[in-house]
Amino acid sequence: MDFTNLWTEIKAAQTIIICRHIHPDPDALGSQGGLATLLSQAFPDKRVLCFGSMSKDLQYLNQMDRVKEEDFQDALLITTDTANLDRLDGKDFLPLAKKVLKIDHHPNEDHYADEEWVDTKASSTSEIIYDFYHQFKEELTLTPKVAYLLYAGIVGDTGRFLFNNTTSHTFEVVSELVKQPFDVAKLNRQFIEKERKVLKLEGYLLDHFTCTEEGVGYFYITNELIEQFGLEHEDTASCVGLMGNAKEVKVWVLFLEKKAHPGNYRCRLRSKELPIVEVAKAHEGGGHPLASGANAYSLEETEAIIEELKAVVKEK
């Protein structure tokens, strides 16, 4: 992938605002922060700002800047790790920007930007940001902070290199990142350390989730359950992959009841081998073939999603 046009747009801009998706994960924060740090170092006279709401359990990765609405006026807006406009944190400000550029690794089905750099074979958007750095490494500097952020994004989106999006190039990139003097072991620990009350919820999930005879796992995290364990909704992120640890489970879905809209659910779909993204698309969602998100507006719709996942397994 050639980033020459991206570099040209960056050099021409005076204000650059980098956005990513709502409910940020490590790759969203890592790609956003990694790119922002690269550009701030290379162009100290430019305004390079990170915009978005933060996730409580990932505040150790990167902090957001205080960005006002007027800052978007005629700025260069770069989005990272955001396939769909509806999921962009800051989407309402797009019309104010002079130009919108998109860097992503999800299937490219929403062409909301003026120019796009999308590589669906990349493990993560953080990996793509490294490739951008590598093309212009004579003018950009790979510092410990940049390496830290991009490593975090890659580790997050590869499930610590367990997922099938991990490639030989991924390992080549990581081998370069860890040459920088940041505490890799500490960062890896931060990915898995949790409060005891979160671990208790995980134990409850493992003890109570349902697995159908087809190998479809599912579990509901209700508002009542979150209150019972003394948690916030964002504390449940670590629960998403748990059902996949069961040998009997082939595909699974975690239904998280929305705090502001009881009876509505965020649906986190996952699979070991069988593509489940079409199920997500049928319910206002999308994502990767084996990791997708969707929405359900009733218990009946969650039950329909379960049946559709059963059909995916039966059709293999």
Closest CA to 39 of 179, 145, 112, 175: 145
Closest CA to 154 of 119, 130, 182, 190: 130
Token representation of residue 7: 């570099």
Determine the pLDDT at residue 56.
Answer: 80
For the chain, domain boundaries: 4-191, 196-314
Q: Which fold has domain 196-314?
A: Diaminopimelate Epimerase; Chain A, domain 1 (3.10.310)
77 sits in which H/E element: strand 76-80
Determine the pLDDT at residue 4.
Answer: 98
Closest CA to 154 of 118, 178, 135: 178
pLDDT tens, 83-95?
Answer: 989 889 999 999 9
pLDDT tens, 26-43?
Answer: 999 999 999 999 999 999
The alpha-helical segments, DSSP class H, found in the chain are 4-12, 26-42, 125-135, 144-157, 168-177, 184-192, 196-208, 223-228, 277-281, 299-314
Rounded to two decimals, what is the model's pTM?
A: 0.90
Is the per-residue pLDDT at 57 higher than 90?
no
Q: Which fold has domain 4-191?
A: inorganic pyrophosphatase (n-terminal core) (3.90.1640)
* 234 vs 23: CA distance, rounded Å: 8
* 190 vs 148: CA distance, rounded Å: 13
